[in-house]
Amino acid sequence: MIQTNSGLRSLVQSLRPITSSLSEIAAYSCYTSQAASALQQVSRPYSNSEDEYAKVDWDNLRFGITPADYMYTMKCSSDGKFEQGQLAPYGNVELSPSAAVLNYGQGLYEGTKAYRTEDGRLLLFRLDQNATRMKMGADRLCMACPSIYQIIDAVKQTALANKRWTPPRGKGTLYIRPLLMGSGPILGLAPAPEYTFLIYASPVGNYFKEGLKPLNLYVEDEFHRATRGGAGGVKSITNYAPVLKAMARAKSRGFSDVLYLDSANKKNLEEVSSCNIFLVKGNIISSPATSGTILPGVTRRSIIEIALDHGYQVEERAIPLDELMDADEVFCTGTAVGVAPVGTITYQDRRVEYNVGEESVSQKLYSILEGIKTGVIEDKKGWTIEIQ
């Protein structure tokens, strides 16, 4: 474990939020140049050389928790404003038994990744989208939330502090998990009196045990992931435990994951347990519209924009199950899963196979997206942020 020194702490504490009347996005843009300079200084105590890596078997990296050295913590004051956060060695957090997150599930999380380029640089991808989505989720759950600027800055600090845990290009990524939770004590059902924002990181490989092999999905028509008017459109922590039973049942039957239908009519596609879904038919790429029950994924949005740039027709709409069974190709997207091709889908007693392989649409879109994320393809959209 790398030791923190007093110089590091003073530098981290000196990175204070901007308090201007500009919007949060504008404030973040103004901050970029000065943050880059400060973060370059912060990086020095952590690493003796640019080529230093943690002792990890990169060739056999799976998607699991391997805690990186540092986590970031920030708390809100009594007026609901978040104070300056700080980095600290990864470790347990202390919570009251009556914390709102434990009693009423008042919590959100995000997922993003740091990518290593061929020459060792560190890139982050579309952080503004994750920060904006967390703000939207916090509003839905009546939670105080850091500003977009604070969220982006915190992720940057966490990624830089844990740079040696970012795998070499092609071996994996550094998964970064921001969490916002109602940490204050509460007995009656009400918003928490205090909130804690924290971030931890872990190097990861492929999300599914199949690795890069096509997935085998099962269409679930008994359990539902989300309902109209609920919180399915935000990354509430309460959205995920309810899918475990359906996932466990599907995996016991040899499937990779579960594809859910809408809870109202059980005939339109929603999403997979932790990722969005796309269908391909000819030159048309379709994905269920994010109308409140489906999470607006950052990878989903990026794939849509790339597909449009490369001449595909993209439709976001209600997609009936019949269209799924007649598609040429199906694939899933998400921060954790990336772009994952689907080989087969089973609904009741019917099993359908789909096109996969190097010439598939999903593989072409995946190659472009990963190229941008890792610096192989020029980022003309301003999606990536380099940290030095």
Does the annotation mark 235 as catalytic? yes
First to last CA, the chain: 21
β-pairing verdict for 284-288 and 313-317: parallel
Output the pLDDT for position 41: 35
- Please spell the DSSP secondary structure of 351-364, one letter per residue: EEE---STTSHHHH
- CA–CA separation, 154 vs 164, rounded Å? 18
Confidence of residue 198 (pLDDT cuts 50, 70, 90): very high
- CA–CA separation, 75 vs 202, rounded Å? 22
pTM: 0.85
Output the pLDDT for position 348: 92
Determine contact, residues 113/175, Cβ cutoff 8 Å. yes
- Number of Cβ within 10 Å of residue 320's Cβ equals 14
Output the pLDDT for position 50: 47
Candidate list 171, 235, 281, 373, residue with the active-site label: 235
97-133 confidence digits (pLDDT tens)? 999 999 999 999 999 999 999 998 999 999 999 999 9
Determine contact, residues 383/359, Cβ cutoff 8 Å. no
| Domains defined for the chain, CATH in brackets | 70-204 (3.30.470.10), 215-376 (3.20.10.10)
Angle at 362 between CA 360 and CA 364, to 5 degrees: 75
Q: Which of 282, 255, 257 is nearest to 270 (CA)?
A: 257
Output the pLDDT for position 211: 64
β-pairing verdict for 173-182 and 107-109: antiparallel
Residue 19 has pLDDT above 90, yes or no: no
Q: Which of 251, 243, 248, 249 is nearest to 226 (CA)?
A: 243
- Number of Cβ within 10 Å of residue 11's Cβ equals 19
